[in-house]
Amino acid sequence: MRRIALLAAFIVVAAACTGGEAATTTESSTTTVVETTTTTSTTVVETTTTTTLPADPPIASSGDENETVQAAQFLLNCGGYGDLKVDGKFGPATLAAVQAAQTALGRATTGAVDDGTMADLARGCADARPLSAAADPVTVVGNAAAADPEVFTITLLSRSTLSVAVLQGTGVSVTVTDGTGTVIDPTERLVWDVEAQGDYRIEIGAEAEPVTFTIEVGVVAGTAKTGDWILATNGVTYKTTKLSLGADAGTVIDKVFEFLGHGVRGNYDEFDTGWYAITDPLDMGLRGIFIEGFAFLFYGPDPNNLDRPETLARIRFEGPSDDAAGTPRPDNYATTAKGITVGDTLADLTAAYGSGVKSGSNSTEHYYRFADSGGVLCFYFGATAPADSSPITEIATECRTG
């Protein structure tokens, strides 16, 4: 406003100074347009969406103790998600393994086992699950799909009866095969008569979608197939003749050659194959004779009692060979009373003896030891710790400690 007033005064003064007409002043109005350019910057944010498979209703959770937990523990170990004791007890270690598996499999990490988790674990495990031929029926849980049956292994004695009852699982099938993969036909629905001792496979199949099932496996045990020679903790029996540890060496050797078909020999000193002696003069010499898979070892003369006869100290069996006529002897011509022989597996051994055999080792070899009031039987497996499928390489009436 002040600027306008000053301008008006200036005009009046100018007009007075001219002394005439007032000058006409034309004001020109100029409009300046300023263009403003606005730059819009667009930022594109890439978003990665992870799909988490939804959880099904839980079938086993923390604190449970049942067959479903046992199945999950086996599958978790198989998939490398834990190193769990397969005891059916859902504790902290099992919980952590379930959570690790669910995270890796892209499932909701609930920590509870559901059908989806069980199915994913089963699809990722190619191992067969071993079962024990217990006296009472065993309840087993698993998960099968159309192209991926659940497989169990079980060791059965000859003339056993195997039965499988499906307690839960729509559309599942049961197939039993022997060690060669040959399908065994049931004698009636889901009942199989087993003629030969060996390892058998139970396959549970599904028609289409994965299904969690529950079965009950029952075994009526048959009799062990034994040979003519029965190895015991205190000696060996050929049919009805017992050759006991501590027996006179000459009598034992004569009987062995008679039984094996070589005829009776009167002087065992003439047999020099496989003999050896302990050189320490303070000990009784230990020497033996090896023939057709057997090693009969004898204590020699006692330096403190030179009249003491040589006696049978221990027996080793390393497998059959040919008889005197060159005919191969049968695989089971020498067994224990429970039908176990060289070539049988650790699974066969534990199925026959259960907790009666205990694992052990020395500096170079692994063995399982069975003991009773008569002495010891030692089942050797070689330099590597045995698995269920590992074969027995030797049976002896004493365990080597060095």
User: Which domains can be identified in the chain, with CATH numbers?
Assistant: 58-123 (1.10.101.10), 129-220 (2.60.120.380), 229-396 (2.60.460)
Assess whether pLDDT exceeds 90 at residue 268: no
Mean pLDDT on 359-383? 95
Give the pairing type, strands 160-168 and 198-206. Answer: unpaired
Assess whether pLDDT exceeds 50 at residue 133: yes
Count of Cβ atoms closer than 10 Å to residue 139 Cβ:
15
Residues in the chain: 402
Write the pLDDT tens digit of every residue in 24-40: 333 444 433 434 444 44
Assess whether pLDDT exceeds 50 at residue 267: no
Mean pLDDT on 148-161? 90
pLDDT of 286 reads 63
Q: Which amino acid is at 61?
A: S
Alpha-helical regions (H) of 19-133: 67-78, 92-104, 115-123
In angstroms, the CA 384 to CA 380 distance is 10
CA 191 from chain center: how many Å? 26
222 contacts 158 by C-beta, under 8 angstroms: yes
Helical (H) or strand (E) element with 60: strand 58-60
Q: What is the 3-state secondary structure (H, E, C) of 349-387?
A: HHHHHHHHEEEEECCCCEEEEEEECCEEEEEEEECCCCC
Kindly tell me the burial class for residue 355, based on how many C-beta atoms sit within 10 Å of its own C-beta (0-12, 13-18, 19 or more): exposed
The two three-digit tokens of residue 321, written as one number: 């060979």
pTM over 0.85: no
Q: What's the mean per-residue pLDDT of the chain?
A: 81
Mean pLDDT on 249-267? 69
Give me the torsion for CA of 181, 185, 187, 191, rounded to 10°.
50
Find residue 350's DSSP bridge partners: none
